[in-house]
Amino acid sequence: MNAIPPSLGDKTAKAVSVDHQPLYADRVRIYPQKVEGPFRRFKWAVLVLLLAIYYLAPWLRWDRGPGAPDQALLIDMPARRAYFFFVEIWPQEVYYLTGLLVLGAVGLFLVTSLFGRVWCAYSCPQTVWTDLFMWVERMVEGDRNARMRLDKGPWTAERIIKKVAKHATWVLISALTGGAWVMYFTDAPTLVVDLLNFQVTGAVLFFILMFTATTYLLAGIAREQVCIYMCPWPRFQAAMFDEDTLTVTYEDWRGEARGKHKAGDSWEGRGHCVDCLQCVNVCPTGIDIRDGSQLECIGCGLCIDACNRIMERLDLPKGLIRLDTVSNQVARAQGGAAPFRLLRPRTLIYTGLLALVAAVMMYGLATRSTLEVNLLRDRNALFVMLSDGTIRNGYTFKIINRARADREFILTVSGIEGATLAVLGGSSGSRAAVFSTRPDQVETYRVFITAPRQSLDGESTDISFVLEEDAMENGENVIQDTVFLGPKR
Amino acid sequence: MATKVEKDSVTGTETTGHEWDGIKELNTPLPRWWIITLWVCVAWSGVYIIFYSAIPGWDGLWEYTARKDVTRQMEAVKADRAKWLDRLADASIEEIGKDSDLLNFAMAGGGAAFADNCAPCHGSGGAGGPGYPNLLDDDWIWGGTLDNIQVTVTHGVRWAQDDDTRITEMPRFGVDELLDKDQINDVADYVLSLFGGGAAAGNGAEIFAENCAACHGESGEGNAELGAPRLSDAIWLYGGDKATIVETITNSRGGVMPAWGTRLDEVTVKQLAIYVHSLGGGQ
């Protein structure tokens, strides 16, 4: 690794030199400057794509038949269902959500170990909305220098108008963000009509206002403070890094010793860094990348764009700041080159984990049953002796019909001779019982099995319930093993 | 107080000026907004104290207490239940059985009332015990239809304060010397034989016909209207071994159940009857 760069100590250089020390630091305002280049273009493209997905996804429709919502992505809290295209999740199946989160986490680990902080740089909502809000700021108040001038200057009419316009636009975007968030939890077209008629419930309004407020505060006011002070990810993402991870790197062996450069001066005996501070000025978190890899760096690469423009102008090779690995930097400093290694134990393990979790998830979804049967044996009393000396056991069936159709099931019992089956409020004394289940419902049936005492194997007899779907094709069958208890011989 | 800020030569960070055995503390100040957030929270706690009941004896400006809240919620639940209870009160017990929503409500209410009032004797699952009838089986001393159960629960059994209580009295054949020991022994053997428990000996059948059949029926089939238990089945309230039967014939039995009509309202009794009927033995 690099030695501590000499400039690190300069970070707080402008701080107090009088006879008191602050216990609390004022926030250093950041005025990121406009920049153009491939990294900036990529950041814009991802931003537009992600925002488009966020705002448009709730409008996708998916036909699930009558009685079911037709929104492709919907988390229906009151009805306790979550819909994701063809998948419908009940609260009991929350492990799919767990699987999704595990998948997301391992995917993040893999991408981070390969390409560094691309999540922070391009796709984190904090980054996306902060970038959008900074764009608004630049449109209204102008670029870095104009903004700094405006903030230093007096409260003129122009300043007031610009500030009001900026904050109003921010609030508007925040409100749209909050509104779109709620659309994932309720039918989007209905919500829009209700909003236009001022007919939303207090709960909907509360959540819209809450997400409006958090968007405004986090993307407009807090910005890089979220990344530096609030977010846990920068603190442990370094654990996924190794010497082959791409990070935004300043080539200090080429750049130092830095200094101002006049046209015509020789480049002999000095570094290529002309100390123009362009990399600092464009940084959305306000750091100096030349100080080395640091927690505050979100890895967006805007400083690379800025530096390359200067290098181009000076006719020097590009890439004084570049997206590079530590091992390549070490090699380059000595005139060599190290290949970028995609396949490393670390990435292979992450890929393997990712494939494993994905396979388990796919298997789970593919074999997901639309029928679930819970069988509860009566424990109080364990058995009942009837007047004719036969023994009766009680069972409760909970049949979860996840299909959107009426279904009928035929229940039979085996393993005990001469057993008869009775359903509370239904058939009695028969060999089989019929359960009907309504679509998307849990139905509960009480079943009594009565058997002559001589056909029991002592206190406990193994029996099986077979629940057969009464359907022409693709019927589901469930076999439930349980016991039938009786008195001691 | 130091007059000049000292900078640490390694990190370039200022020190706080405090020194312990040559070790100096670096000053890494918190962001100001952080401390502002803390003070806002402290101020908020003041608001909380004023509006909520934080001070004993004073309910705060909003006069909100958790107890009041729970009372209000209980009243809301009661009001919500009232609709159902009104429907239950109007419906006959047979009508309730046909309306599945009403039935579910009655079952839930009946279950709760059962646990509160009946479980001490009949058991939480209704399985009873010696002297306390098992409510799960299909043998009913006073009849197992919904109406029978409702009457039994309302008026009790041998409950002197209730004029309509279920009452019957079996003679104390031994204590009052209506039968001698041998006769009791014979008739007990005969009773046991009614459900295949050994052979009848002596003149048990004749004694039974003369003394017992009037209530228990000629073949011991019982009579629910008189509260005479059926003897020709596998179920025994006090026990089905010979010694217990001899004891029963000698001393008689007379279990008592309170009349719940005076303690519970009519709708609750209705729900109880429906619940007990559904336990598995209802007729």
Distance CA A402, CA A476 (A): 12
Angle made by CA atoms A81, A86, A92, in degrees to the nearest 5: 35
The answer to whether A40 touches A292, Cβ cutoff 8 Å, is: no
- Chains A–B, number of C-beta pairs less than 8 Å apart: 101
Average pLDDT of the residues in A460-482: 86
- Of residues B7, B32, B235, nearest to A387 (C-beta): B235
Query: A246 with A228, same domain?
Result: no
pLDDT at A17: 44
Quickly count: other Cβ atoms within 10 Å of residue A294's Cβ: 14
For residue A6, is pLDDT > 50? Answer: no
Q: Does A39 map to a domain?
A: yes
Q: CB neighbours of A210 closer than 8 A, spacing ≥ 6? A: A178
pLDDT at B95: 83
Q: Does A395 map to a domain?
A: yes
Give the residue, A404 or B162, on which the prediction is more confident. Answer: B162
- List the pLDDT tens digit at each of the 283 positions of chain B: 445 778 888 887 888 888 889 888 888 888 888 889 999 999 999 999 999 988 888 888 988 888 999 999 999 999 998 988 898 888 887 788 778 788 888 989 999 999 999 999 999 999 998 999 999 998 999 999 989 999 999 999 999 999 999 999 999 999 999 999 999 999 999 999 888 776 766 788 899 999 999 999 998 999 999 999 999 998 999 988 899 999 999 999 989 999 999 999 999 999 999 999 988 887 7
Mutate to test the interface with A, among B1, B4, B14, B25 (most CBs of A within 10 A): B14
pLDDT at A176: 93
- Burial call A229-246: b when 16+ CB within 10 Å, e when fewer: eebeebeebeebbbebbb
Provide the 3-class DSSP secondary structure of residue A277: coil
Provide the 3-class DSSP secondary structure of residue A198: coil
Query: A326 with A409, same domain?
Result: no
Structure tokens at A271: 């570094």
- Centroid of chain to Cα A358: 16
Give the residue, B200 or A303, on which the prediction is more confident. Answer: A303
Distance CA B258, CA A122 (A): 76
Q: Tell which residue, B41, B33, B15, has the closest CA to residue A25.
A: B33
Query: A219 with A257, same domain?
Result: no
In A, minimum Cα distance to B3 occurs at A19
pLDDT at B16: 82
Which residues in chain B are closer than 8 Å to A425, comparing Cβ atoms? 97, 103, 278
Distance CA A261, CA A365 (A): 63
**DSSP letter, residue B21:** T
The answer to whether B119 touches B272, Cβ cutoff 8 Å, is: no
Which residues in chain B are closer than 8 Å to A389, comparing Cβ atoms? 195, 233-234
Task: Average the pLDDT over each of A8-12, A74-78, A433-437 and give the range with the smallest value.
Answer: A8-12
Of A187, A208, A239, which closes a domain? Answer: A239
Q: Do B30 and A21 touch (CB under 8 A)?
A: no
Tens-place pLDDT, residues A10-25:
444 444 444 455 667 7
The answer to whether B144 touches B283, Cβ cutoff 8 Å, is: yes
The total domain count for chain A is 3
- Residue A475 lies in domain: 371-485
Distance CA B138, CA B170 (A): 23
Which residues in chain A are closer than 8 Å to B123, comparing Cβ atoms? 380-381
Quickly count: other Cβ atoms within 10 Å of residue A487's Cβ: 12
Question: Mean pLDDT score of chain A, rounded to an integer?
Answer: 88
pLDDT at A10: 44
Q: Cα dihedral sign for A305, A310, A312, A318?
A: negative
Percent share of chain A, pLDDT over 70: 94
Average pLDDT of the residues in A59-65: 88
- Of residues A26, A380, A386, nearest to B32 (C-beta): A26
Task: Average the pLDDT over each of A57-61, A64-68, A361-365 and give the range with the smallest value.
Answer: A64-68
Q: Tell which residue, A314, A312, A306, has the closest CA to residue A266.
A: A314
Q: Does A348 map to a domain?
A: no
- Of residues A18, A21, A389, nearest to B234 (C-beta): A389
Residue carrying the six token digits 């036969």: A390
Q: Tell which residue, A367, A212, A224, has the closest CA to residue A286.
A: A224
Q: Does A307 map to a domain?
A: yes
Structure tokens at A30: 């950041």
The answer to whether A294 touches A247, Cβ cutoff 8 Å, is: no
Interface predicted TM-score (ipTM): 0.77
For residue A305, is pLDDT > 60? Answer: yes
Of A239, A261, A293, which closes a domain? Answer: A239
Q: Do A24 and B16 touch (CB under 8 A)?
A: no
Of A223, A239, A255, which closes a domain? Answer: A239
Average pLDDT of the residues in A341-357: 92
Q: Tell which residue, B118, B137, B112, has the closest CA to residue B283.
A: B137
Task: Average the pLDDT over each of A59-63, A443-447, B198-202 and give the range with the smallest value.
Answer: B198-202
The answer to whether A37 touches A291, Cβ cutoff 8 Å, is: no
Q: How far is CA A154 from each of CA A140, A145, A165, A340, rounded to the nearest angstrom? A: 18, 16, 17, 53
pLDDT at A72: 92
- Burial call B90-108: b when 16+ CB within 10 Å, e when fewer: ebebeebbeeeebbebbbe
pLDDT at A9: 41
Distance CA A300, CA A115 (A): 11
**CA of A394, closest CA in chain B: separation in Å?**
8
Tens-place pLDDT, residues A266-300:
888 888 999 999 999 999 999 999 998 888 999 99
Amino acid at position A404, single letter? R
Quickly count: other Cβ atoms within 10 Å of residue B127's Cβ: 19
The CATH number that applies at residue A435 is 2.60.40.10
pLDDT-based confidence at residue A488 (cuts at 50, 70, 90): confident
Mutate to test the interface with A, among B25, B28, B32, B39 (most CBs of A within 10 A): B32
Q: Does A445 map to a domain?
A: yes
Angle made by CA atoms B153, B156, B160, in degrees to the nearest 5: 160
For residue A321, is pLDDT > 50? Answer: yes
Give the residue, A177 or A433, on which the prediction is more confident. Answer: A177
- Centroid of chain to Cα A464: 44
Q: CB neighbours of A162 closer than 8 A, spacing ≥ 6? A: A140, A141, A150
pLDDT-based confidence at residue A437 (cuts at 50, 70, 90): confident
Q: Tell which residue, A432, A361, A434, has the closest CA to residue A399.
A: A434
Q: How many residues does chain A have?
A: 489
Structure tokens at A373: 């049967």
Which residues in chain B are closer than 8 Å to A421, comparing Cβ atoms? none
Q: Got the DSSP string for A26-76?
A: PP----PPP--SHHHHHHHHHHHHHHHHHHHGGG-B----TTS--BSEEEE
Average pLDDT of the residues in A464-470: 88
Distance CA A192, CA A200 (A): 9
pLDDT at A340: 86
Query: A251 with A147, same domain?
Result: no
Percent share of chain A, pLDDT over 90: 50
The answer to whether A44 touches A67, Cβ cutoff 8 Å, is: no
Query: A75 with A181, same domain?
Result: yes
Q: Does A12 map to a domain?
A: no
The answer to whether A442 touches A468, Cβ cutoff 8 Å, is: no
Q: Does A358 map to a domain?
A: no
Which residues in chain A are closer than 8 Å to B97, comparing Cβ atoms? 425
Q: Does A72 map to a domain?
A: yes
Across-strand partners of B7? Answer: B14
Task: Average the pLDDT over each of A161-175, A176-190, A212-226, A403-417 and give the range with the smallest value.
Answer: A403-417
Q: Do A384 and B280 touch (CB under 8 A)?
A: yes
pLDDT at A428: 67
pLDDT at A1: 39
Distance CA A444, CA A461 (A): 24
Q: Do A27 and B14 touch (CB under 8 A)?
A: no
pLDDT at B181: 92
Distance CA B182, CA B188 (A): 10
Tens-place pLDDT, residues A40-57:
999 999 999 999 999 999
Q: How far is CA A188 from each of CA A73, A394, B86, rounded to the nearest angstrom? A: 10, 47, 40
pLDDT at A22: 66
**CA of B155, closest CA in chain A: separation in Å?**
26
